[in-house]
Amino acid sequence: MGGTPVLAVVGPLLWACGLALQGGMLYPRESPSRERKELGGLWSFRADFSDNRRQGFEQQWYKRPLRELGPTLDMPVPSSFNDVTQDGRLRGFIGWVWYERETVLPLRWTQDLGTRVVLRLGSAHYYAIVWVNGVHMAEHEGGHLPFEVDISTLVQAGPLESCRITIAINNTLTPNTLPPGTILYKTDTSKYPKGYFVQNTNFDFFNYAGLHRPVLLYTTPTTYIDDITVTTGMDQDTGLVNYQISVQGSQRFDLKVRLLDAEGQQVAEGTGAQGQLQVPRAHLWWPYLMHSYPAYLYSLEVRLTAQTAAGPVPDVYTLPVGIRTVAVTESQFLINGKPFYFHGVNKHEDADIRGKGFDWSLLAKDFNLLRWLGANAFRTSHYPYAEEVMQLCDRYGIVVIDESPGVGIVLPESYGNASLHHHLEVMEELVRRDKNHPAVVMWSVANEPTSFLKPAGYYFKTLIAHTKALDPSRPVTFVTNANYASDLGAPYVDVICVNSYYSWYHDPGHLEVIPLQLATQFEDWYGAYQKPIIQSEYGAETIPGFHQDPPVMFTEEYQRRLLEQYHLVLDQKRRQYVVGELIWNFADFMTDQSPSRAVGNRKGIFTRQRQPKSAAFVLRDRYWKIANESTHLKPQCLENSLFVL
């Protein structure tokens, strides 16, 4: 491997687009006017192991079927590519990999010029270039948010046998990517082969790569509902649903909206591109365990009729809507005007074999575990999760702190204009994608940046202000570390999220110091800012099956005891201004190799295979107890409302 191949190929390709995204990013749903074609399954795959990683571009691998230009592997989509094969070089590969899939389109999609055909990628980590039948169609930076491209013109240009989709993906992280990283060239030839380099990062999870989320084709009519923005409120017991709809393709159309309740009965209707629907005696969207009927969802049916030369052409899109309010005071987090206490977890998208690949079985299992645990919330540490995850949160009432991939921002170079511009763009993409989820109650712009560096003040002030302007309906936070006493971001956020690892990274083995240190932490932060605080991480590394009493580090007893020590203080402070606790972590997860990680980070209360360690039972007892204490049910419902373990 020679020269500066890996960075050089990413840099010049970066999008130079301005802020303010073009178009919406509605989740592709079937409707009478829209079809979907899933492209999951086995794709052809090749990693470009050439020295400069550019052989694929030099030989134009997108021009012909990949198999004609050398050996290919079968690669599952969605999945990370890293852990699927027995090839150690692929596990740690840095540079371009190539995916390809051929598909046949229904005749109507290619012949009906009134049909718009869109290719959509749920996520491609980190930088992606897309060709269809050898024609360059799109590029996208960022591994955690969807992007799409209209391929109608291409597929409707003439007779089409099949459609070959080629996607080149580069997982290189630079000081300006999110998350950032650096490529370190090891030039001492007495120690390393010529051209040797490694990817360095400052975050604690494995940089899995590939097509992590569903890839699909979908259709709309050529005049179509492009975006919908819903915000909700309450006036006494009347629910208010404010909607704004954007239409693309023509100016000549009518819009009708209907709001249906969970039984499919119409409760309100309206016309036009924006308006307010009023729902008398509305059912509110309540978090899990806060109400006997949590997560009530209405359906907003948007019906567009375009006036065309051939007559009226409809487009229909139905969006789930939860009516709820969110507000923050000096010491409380309010949902529907009632104090809400986050008792939940931090997660990762991570599992054996699949890495960060989306998987329905894993998703169902994780939500079953969350509900078993009595968890009412999680943070999408440390990047946006799949859209399907957010949909289940809406359905089950699991409240979400929706975090950007702003993790490991520690280098001064990562606070320059290029990084800020990209971070703002990512926040726009995130808000555009997740703005309509009632489960999302707060945006988190970053995790543990070294925000005491001087340029960080301007960086975070701008970032937080921009996020608030994008979505005035939700509070904004960023997650800090208890050690960063003078945090330049904290004055701008609505809620302070603090991570601390007492008696783990600090005073290891000394569980007895936790109560004093944790109480001091809360008092210092509240004293400085008078804002509600969430204990956004705490935990201990635990190898399941390791036992020792009195407890020592890495045993199940130590993890339990550490949690219990934290809970002593949390129980005092949650009656004052602490509004939540999120354990680090829901499950064990893969990290880079290091002397301090035994096959990944083991701070899970569940193993990576989702089996409980004994701390899971401690947390389960606690969360159900808190839920039973803080229910907001009306007195007449109370008798049969107490939540059972």
Q: In angstroms, what is the minimal distance from the CB of 542 to ligand GCB?
A: 11
Structure tokens belonging to residue 13? 């390709």
Residues interacting with ligand GCB, by CB under 6 A? 204, 382, 447-448, 499, 537, 584, 601, 603
Specify the length of the chain in residues.
645
Q: In this complex, which beta carbon is closest to ligand GCB, that of residue 227 or of residue 588?
A: 588
Q: Which residues are catalytic?
A: 448
Smallest distance from the beta carbon of 604 to ligand GCB, in angstroms?
10
Is 172 or 601 the residue whose CB approaches ligand GCB more closely? 601
Write out the two tokens for 207: 């940089």
- Pick between residue 447 and residue 535 the one whose CB is nearest to ligand GCB: 447
Q: Least distance in Å: CB of 451 to ligand GCB?
A: 13
CB closer to ligand GCB, 288 vs 478: 478
Residue 324: phi, psi to the nearest 5?
Answer: -160, 160
Q: Considering only CA atoms, which of 313, 433, 339, 422 is closest in space to residue 385?
A: 433
The answer to whether the CB of 530 falls within 8 A of the CB of 539 is no
By beta-carbon proximity to ligand GCB, the closer residue of 288 and 342 is 342
Amino acid (1-letter code) at residue 518: L
**Which residue lies nearer to ligand GCB by CB, 201 or 232?**
201
CA angle at residue 326 from 321 to 331, to 5 degrees? 160
The one-letter amino acid code at 140 reads H
CA angle in degrees (0–180, nearest 5) for 153-154-158: 95
H or E segment and range at residue 621: helix 614-629
> What kind and span of H or E run contains 421?
helix 417-434
Smaller CB separation from ligand GCB, 39 or 605: 605
Residue nearest to ligand GCB (CB): 204
Separation between Cα atoms, residue 377 and residue 383, nearest integer Å: 16
- What's the closest the beta carbon of residue 538 comes to ligand GCB, in angstroms? 9
Minimal distance, residue 539 CB to ligand GCB, in Å: 7
Taking Cα atoms as reference points, which of 366, 369, 426 lies closest to residue 402? 426
Measured CA to CA, the distance from residue 404 to residue 384 in angstroms comes to 6
Q: Least distance in Å: CB of 199 to ligand GCB?
A: 17
Q: Report the C-alpha gap between 262 and 554 in whole angstroms.
A: 47
Cβ contact 509:471 at 8 Å: no
Look at the block and give the residue holding tokens 């509605």: 26
- 168: β partners: 98, 129
C-alpha distance from residue 319 to each of 214, 316, 439 (Å): 20, 10, 14
Burial class (CB in 10 A: 0-12, 13-18, 19+), 61: buried
Q: How far apart are CA 564 and CA 566, in angstroms?
A: 5
For residue 499, the minimal CB distance to ligand GCB (Å) is 4
